[in-house]
Structure 1
């Protein structure tokens, strides 16, 4: 059985709180870079609550094979928008070791972004490989593998409306 960690309602409340925090921080146009595929659900809900004009792009970035991080960051897409001299917000589903956010942060800085901040739904309590911490974060969780609300196990379970700890890895959703 998978254990529900955050209900659909709890997620919605926390996303509203994050949106208020971001709205207080940014008054002008903001370029949002969503890390896909995991952050798509989170970003969709978050962006509808932001009050400033948004320029949106996504980057396909991955370090996972199944439930294990490979330790290597793989960029599977490029930016489509020009971010030079713009305020940029990276939106991701989960912050673990920090390697993905670090790699994306440096990638965006190399494209001459004026500022780069990060927003993650989940901040995992685990060993970090970077000193960088997210600027905005939703929930802090233990070092467990989670699924739902965009997060997957071998591309499954992204469509769950809640976030659960993955207990059963044999393919059943029980």
Structure 2
């Protein structure tokens, strides 16, 4: 269940948080990723799947940097449900586009434990995708239970609870233009 936080609590979390990457540093990571993705996928006509809700901001900013033909869709699978601890994977929306015979670029906010991304990759392959690539804005420096590494990474963060650029703290602060670590987490 979502924990309701008041405005003052949310503001305090932001004020006390440690800035890990500012907006300019994140933009540099996005530019680099877009160049790497373009080099690999520009001839593929891929389907780019944004993983909701965390991938919303990242995917939108990355997609505008990809200057080649592609199709966009989204998938909504989550383990966190506005909390700071992962749970069982909850499939809320599957893509409308047919994945059969296509290259897929899964775009997500963070590679944390790797369970969600691994499950989404498996889903794409079961739906007939020929190749599935992963792009994450943030790679958390930690051991993983699922997917061990993404194909494309914007920035790496320490093993702390981070928010901003789509990542949330208990359902809040996704919109923040920077990547921050919550004090004490």
TM-score bracket for the superposition, by shorter chain length: over 0.9
4+ residue runs over 3 A deviation: none
Change (3 A) 1:147 1:131: closer
Work out the CA distance in 2 between the residues paired with 1:52 and 1:92.
Answer: 20
1:36 and 2:55 correspond: no
Q: Deviations over 1:46-77 (max 9, x none)?
A: 1011021111111111111411112x111111
Q: What secondary structure sits across from 1:167 in the alignment? A: coil
- Which residue in 2 is equivalent to 1:51? 67
CA distance in 1, matches of 2:179, 2:138: 10
TM-score (norm 1): 0.92
Aligned mates of 1:168, 1:135 — CA distance in 2: 30
Report the RMSD for the aligned CA atoms in angstroms: 1.4
Post-superposition offset of 1:32: 0.3
CA contact (8 A) 1:30 1:52 kept: no
Query: For 1:69, what is the secondary structure of its paired residue?
Result: coil
Query: Are 1:105 and 2:117 an aligned pair?
Result: no
What TM-score results when the alignment is normalised by the length of structure 2? 0.87
Alignment coverage as a number of residue pairs: 168
Q: Which residue of 1 aligns with 2:41?
A: 26
Q: 1:157 aligns with which of 173, 176, 184?
A: 173
Structure 1 residues 10-159: aligned runs within 5 Å: 10-28=25-43, 29-65=45-81, 66-70=83-87, 72-130=88-146, 132-159=148-175
User: Could you tell me how far apart the structure 2 residues matched to 1:131 and 1:12 are?
Assistant: 25
- Larger relative helix fraction: 2
For 1:50 and 1:19, the matched residues in 2 are separated by 6
Q: Which runs of 5 or more structure 1 residues have no equivalent in the other structure?
A: 170-174
- Measured in 1, the distance between the counterparts of 2:60 and 2:110 equals 15
